[in-house]
Amino acid sequence: MLRLAVLALLLVPGAAAAQSVDARLNDLQRSIAGLSQQIEQLKVQDQQLQQRMEKMQQSFEQRIERLEKGPTKPTPKTGRSKR
C-alpha cells in the first residue's frame, strides 16, 4: 500500500511533488527508526520482567515447599538460662 502511495505521488507532475515524496520518505524512515528503537527497549524490559518473574516463582516454590514440610524443630539454645 505504501508503494502505491509513493508511485501515485511520483506520477504527479512537477518538482514540488518529488520533494514532497522525498520529505515523506524521510519522515517514514525516521518513524521506522524510532519505532525500531522502542521495540528494542521493550524487548529489554520484557526480558527483565521475565527474569524477575522466574526469581519470584522460585522463591514462592521454595516457600511453599518449606510450609509443606511443616514446622522445623527448634535448635537447642546454648549458654546460661535466665532465672
Domain with 39, as residue range(s), is: 27-66
- Confidence (pLDDT) at 61: 96
43 lies in a domain?
yes
20 lies in a domain?
no
For helices 15-69 and 2-11, the axis angle rounded to 10 degrees is 170
38 lies in a domain?
yes
pLDDT mean over 66-72 = 87
User: Which residue in 43, 63, 41, 62 sits closest to 51, CA to CA?
Assistant: 43
pLDDT mean over 17-45 = 93
41 lies in a domain?
yes
33 lies in a domain?
yes
Q: What is the DSSP letter of 51?
A: H
* Contact (CB, 8 A) for 25 and 6: yes
The number of folded domains in the chain is: 1
